[in-house]
A and B are shown apart, each in its own frame.
Chain A
Amino acid sequence: MEKTYILGISAFYHDSAAAVLCNGEIIAAAQEERFTRKKADASFPIEAIKFCLNYAGIKISDINEIVFYDKPILKFDRILASYLHTAPLGIRSFLKAIPLWLREKLWIEDQIKKDLMYEKDILFTQHHQSHAASAFYPSPFNEAAILTVDGAGEWATTAVSLGNGNKLDILETLEFPHSLGLLYSAFTYYCGFKVNSGEYKLMGLAPYGKPIYKEKILNNLVQVNTDGSISLNLTFFNFISGLKMINKKFCKLFGMPPRRPEEPLTQFYMDIAASIQEITNEIIVAMAKHAKELTGCKNLCFAGGVALNCSANNVLAKSGIFENIFIQPAAGDAGGALGAALYVHYALHGNIRNPQNNNDVIPQLPGLGPDFSPEEIEKLLKHYGLNYKKMSDDDLYKYCAEKLNDQQIIGWFQGRMEFGPRALGYRSIIADPRSADMQKKMNLKIKFRESFRPFAPAVMEDFADEYFDIPSSSKYLTPYMLTTTQILRKHLKNVESFDSTENKISLLGIDRSTINAVTHLNGSARVQVVREKDNPKFYKLLREFYRQTKMPMVVNTSFNVRGEPIVCTPQDALYCFFASNIDILVLECFILEKRTQSVKMDLTEWKKKIIQD
């Protein structure tokens, strides 16, 4: 059968990525940031493209079609309309944005052809089409409602679509500037986190507060209709053509200035986080209801940056509106590269799609990135003169389980790198979830980050229901850590102290459950259910840990320090290992113990690339 290759690209806004399909099968996909080591790298993803082509064993001339995930003319129209709305104000933002559009962003087709030395025309999908396709086509559903919610694509900020077989039709949209994503980002900024990368910190902060500002927000900032549509009161926001998300009127409404990034988190900002999170939950549920009414489907695919809001996903799952919900792990803009390619393969070329073949999500997810052979790794270790041991798989699991039980922290590097923001047992830092101390220890010594942020558990599938209250509609979400769940009451301790304590952060160090390191303040956890067929090595490690300790889960956090992307290569893993207090590094079948290393790696160049986030 003749092979048809399609290359999908997302770039120039945030989180560039590339994906390659061969006859509709996903061969490789990766985010540019992992190669350039620049967090949320938005530049043209030349490294990611090179990787995808190398992995597929092809040259650029073998690519039949290249597709970009966004329509430049539509987006430029929106940009122009924004400045026209506020002119003559907004000149500072105007002077930053317009030259960039004139020099680069309008000429995307030209740039792609030049950079890749590719002669054929480039295709362009709509932004929300790319999101919708990235969720629907890899899903196990023949038919589904598709909800896509983000900051803004071209004009659409939210879309309800219908996926049926290989067809995908957008039905209705909400348009800029009325955007749930931008509303959430505005509050992200207000609470002192970075826009477009700090939203999940705002989500993590919410359980520390009470939603006492909910009414104020609903009365002043956003009108939420019963059909899920929203309308922002633009007099409080500055994002249309300003350099900041909010203005003085916004701050005056709450009586507090925006928090500066390194200022301590006070109860006020925790309550703000809780308030906006509750509103977001309600809006998403209302939007989902509307999607159900429009389509009549029992399945939902959800995509766009807002689909990474795990707390909202839990509320959505528990609402029972849909029987099944699927979110592709790279639900943000990076996934747009994959979605654009899939749209061309299925919708444009009418190729047959048969999700029933799998009865499950496509098996390749989420490991679509590069992997490294033992020979390559050993060469690197010898090059640096490091002390290491080589082990068989079974010995490796036994050894790691013992060390975890010893309260040691392990950097776990196995197989193909994940596509998407979550580490799912391929590029993970793992630890024992039982101790109350582990959350603080890992936060400060490994991640060098604010101590309020919780960690997430990875649990063996067989034991998930013994620890967590997982609604049945979440079964396609939990393998990818895309939803929070409630820890079962029988595992919680000192529950009364959760509500009564004023200083919630002080609760971090006390014994709150049988799995302290992964228990958030409200007794929730962002769980990954590990199935043996998805990730056999990770599963077997968990199984061995369970055999030794009767604990069927570990702490699973991403393998990186704060300010850098998740590690991609063994070299990146070594840097992170030496820069942090990880005790053991596992690179495929090789083990390195920190205490036995006599050689120190030079981290000067590595440190320069770390961004404060």
Chain B
Amino acid sequence: MSKAKLVKEFFQYLKENKKLWLLPLLIILTIVAVVALVSQAPAIAPLIYSLF
């Protein structure tokens, strides 16, 4: 919920302050963040295995 809140408020901030040029950056950032998150989750980690 808080993650969604952050994303929603971020876009609100960009809109209110007319900083839409940040969007390409943020999309890449989001992808990086998602990969980082996913690579920590054991059940859905196709790319990065944990050392045993």
Contacts and interface: CB of A to CB of B under 8 A. Distances in A.
Q: Binding site of B, secondary structure by majority: helix, strand, loop or mixed?
A: helix
Interface string B10-44: 10010001010010010001001100100000000
Nearest to B29: A102
Given A77-B19, A80-B25, A102-B29, A109 B36 contact: no
A172 to B, nearest CB: 19
A102 B2 contact: no
Nearest to B9: A73
B3 A110 contact: yes
Interface size, B (range): 10 to 19
Interface in A282-329: none
Interface string A105-120: 0110110010000000
B30 to A, nearest CB: 9
A72 B9 CA distance: 11
Contact of A73 (B2, B3, B13, B33): B13
Interface residues of A, number: 16
A103 B36 contact: yes
A113 B17 CA distance: 28
B33 to A, nearest CB: 5
Contacts of A113: 2
A102 B10 contact: no
A585 to B, nearest CB: 47
Interface string A70-108: 001110010010000000000000000011001100110
B23 to A, nearest CB: 12
A110 B37 CA distance: 13
Contacts of B22: 77, 80
Nearest to A112: B2
Contacts of A99: 36
Given A77-B13, A77-B17, A102-B33, 8 more contacts: A73-B6, A73-B13, A74-B13, A80-B25, A107-B2, A109-B2, A110-B6, A121-B2
Interface of A: 72-74, 77, 80, 98-99, 102-103, 106-107, 109-110, 113, 121-122
11 contacts: A73-B9, A73-B13, A77-B19, A80-B25, A98-B29, A99-B36, A102-B33, A103-B33, A109-B2, A110-B6, A113-B2
